[in-house]
Structures are given as C-alpha cells and as structure tokens.
C-alpha cells in the first residue's frame, strides 16, 4: 500500500468523489459524558465546494440531542466491494436554512417528514471536516485481487492500493 496525502482542492475533490460514490455513511455523534459513539446511517445531500457535507435530519432524533451537548462528529464510509474506505472527523453546524431544505427536498424526505417541507422538526446538518483519511485501490478489483494473491504466493510486495490523509 502506498501513501498519497492530499491537501486543499485535491483533498476536497477526493473527499467529494468518495462520498458521492458511497453515499450512505455512518454518522457518529457522542452522548454527553460517554466515550462510545452513537452511529446512524445517513445519506448525504451534497458535498459542497469547501468539502462540507450536508444532510437533512430531524430535531426529534437522538443525533440532534447529542449534538446539543457535543458538536464533534465522525463519519465512516465503506464500499467493501471496491475496497474504498473513508473516515472523517469534524464538527456539526445545525440550522433551519429554508433555502437548503427546499434545495434538498425529495420524495425520500417525504417518508421521514410527514408534514412536508414545513415540518418544524426538519433541520439542516452541515458537517465541517477537520481531518479525513482514506483507503482505496489504484486499479480495478480483479487486478487488486491478483496482486494480493501474487503477494501471498511469491512473497513480493506489489502495491495493492493507497491510503492517505486528506487535509482540507
């Protein structure tokens, strides 16, 4: 595995590419005075030009309650079939931004918010990354598997992927 640390625009582009491809990640918030995270699956609405990740969520959720006490979060994305993984640590900002609610509203949201876009429980969640780390493969899955097998058989060390820090 080779290391390829990225920064600035390259880091944002990599983060956006991976989050858009994987879509659903585990959002981890932290209960007050507890070290164990509370994780829930969340589908992102957008990764913006600055690398911020946007969601719609409910004021009635446990995540909302946890974020009232501690705004630190972690996001974990995994696409095992493609050997792509991403962890993001950051902080949350919560608002009732009507323009973003309108922008992100879709049929799926109707299932979560029965009162529609005007539901007072709809909140906009912005995750601002502090740091991120990724693992992916440089080639397609078949070639990666062949390299892994060759490494096992020959004892050679063929490069099977890359990892690195994303400095945003």
pLDDT (0 to 100) of residue 139: 52
Residues recorded for the chain? 168
In angstroms, the Cα distances linking 125 to 45, 79, 104, 134 are 10, 23, 11, 23
How many DSSP H helices and E strands does the chain contain?
5, 10
User: What residue has token string 């972690």?
Assistant: 74
145-to-35, 86, 150, 161 alpha-carbon distances in Å? 37, 20, 9, 11
43 token code pair: 């589908």
For residue 33, give Cα distances in angstroms to 56, 98, 108, 150.
26, 33, 34, 48
| pLDDT score at 89 | 97
- Confidence at residue 147, expressed as pLDDT on a 0 to 100 scale: 41
pLDDT, position 152: 46
Residues of the chain with pLDDT below 70 are 1, 138-160
The pLDDT of residue 57 is 97
Q: Could you please report the per-residue DSSP string of 65-91?
A: HHHHH--EEEEEEEEGGGTEEEEEEEE
- CATH match of 2-167 with 3.40.50.300: no
pTM for this model (two decimals):
0.84
Residue 1 has what pLDDT? 61
The strand pair at 122-136 and 162-167 is best described as: antiparallel
Residue 163 and residue 3 in contact, taking contact as beta carbons nearer than 8 Å: yes
Predicted pLDDT of residue 32: 83
Structure tokens, 14: 């990599």
pLDDT of residue 168: 83
- For residue 151, the model assigns a pLDDT of 41
Domain ranges of the chain: 2-167
């Amino acid at each position: 595995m080779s290391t390829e640390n990225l920064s600035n625009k390259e880091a944002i582009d990599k983060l956006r590419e991976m989050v858009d491809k994987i879509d659903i990640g585990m959002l981890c918030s932290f209960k007050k005075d507890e070290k164990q995270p509370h994780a829930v699956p969340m589908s992102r609405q957008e990764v913006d030009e600055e690398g911020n990740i946007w969601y719609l969520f409910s004021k009635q959720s446990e995540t909302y309650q946890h974020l009232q006490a501690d705004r630190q979060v972690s996001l974990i994305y995994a696409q095992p079939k493609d050997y792509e993984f991403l962890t993001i640590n950051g902080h949350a900002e919560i608002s009732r931004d009507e323009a973003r609610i309108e922008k992100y509203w879709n049929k799926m949201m109707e299932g979560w918010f029965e009162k529609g876009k005007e539901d007072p429980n709809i909140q906009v969640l912005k995750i601002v990354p502090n740091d991120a780390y990724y693992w992916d493969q440089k080639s397609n899955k078949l070639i990666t598997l062949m390299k892994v097998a060759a490494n096992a058989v020959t004892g050679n060390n063929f490069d099977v992927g890359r990892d690195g820090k994303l400095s945003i």
